[in-house]
Amino acid sequence: MRHVSVVIRTFVGIALMAAASSFAASAIPENSMGLSKTSVFATPTPKVYQENPEQPGSSKLLPRAYLGAPPQISHSISDFLPITPQSNMCIACHNQPSQWGQKLEKGMATPIPPSHYTDLRNAPGKVTENLVGARYNCNQCHVPQTNAPALVGNTFSGGRVR
Ligand code: HEC
Ligand code: HEC
């Protein structure tokens, strides 16, 4: 029995060496190393893309990526950035607690929801009158859209969202 297992081991060893040498022989081509379809040594110019030109009041709300996801910004925000400690244009239009639960007319800004007036760390469940500091920098979570194609195709589906 012993010499049989030696024979098997030798055979496995030869097979592994053969596999290793054939791996080394088929080097990965330069243009398959990254997400780019060109050689990793090329410096391709990205396709030109445009930011969403729609202005608030005339843009169409976008689907949410999944339930609970921050809604994507449906309008241009180029006139409203940067957000600074002194100025936050987003709040100027969206800070409307009186609109909570009301039916919005077309062109009205979606009110910032109660979750943003709640200090989730120290007093979860208590809606205050003030926007919580952690929600001040809106575009940390909410993002505008461009017409750039997805870099990598995918089949993600967020399920029922709105
Ligand atoms: C001049 C008013 C105005 C300003 C300033 C503004 N928005 Fe809006 N926003 C709107 C309106 C109105 C809508 C509803 C869609 C429409 O009518 O264009 C909207 C829609 C949105 C939505 C989508 C909400 C949903 O229900 O899907 C998000 C998110 C948003 N805005 C975030 C922002 C952020 C972040 C900023 C600041 C960078 C900002 N907005 C600045 C008026 C404004
Ligand atoms: C830390 C991440 C975060 C920040 C910062 C943030 N949001 Fe949100 N926002 C969310 C998430 C997540 C949701 C969806 C869940 C919810 O309603 O709480 C949301 C929902 C919303 C909605 C949709 C409400 C609705 O009824 O459909 C609006 C409008 C909005 N945010 C505006 C803003 C504005 C304006 C700012 C800046 C003043 C801001 N948010 C800052 C994460 C954030």
55 lines ligand 2 (CB under 6 A): no
Dihedral, 37, 41, 47, 52 alpha carbons, nearest 10 = 100
Distance (Å, whole) CA 51 – CA 75: 9
Contacts of 96 (CB under 8 A, 6+ apart): 109, 111, 112
Contacts of 153 (CB under 8 A, 6+ apart): none
- Residue 157's pLDDT is what? 86
82 lines ligand 2 (CB under 6 A): no
Distance (Å, whole) CA 40 – CA 94: 45
- Residue 15's pLDDT is what? 53
The overall longest dimension of the chain from CA atoms, in Å, is: 86
**Dist. CA 29 → ligand 2 center (Å):** 45
- Residue 154's pLDDT is what? 84
- Whose alpha carbon is nearest atom 33 of ligand 1? 90
90 lines ligand 2 (CB under 6 A): yes
**Dist. CA 157 → ligand 1 center (Å):** 24
Please list the pLDDT of the chain residue by residue as tens digits (162 residues): 455 555 555 555 555 555 555 555 578 888 888 777 788 888 888 889 999 999 999 999 998 989 999 999 999 999 999 999 999 999 999 999 999 999 999 999 999 999 999 999 999 999 999 999 999 999 999 999 999 988 788 888 887 655
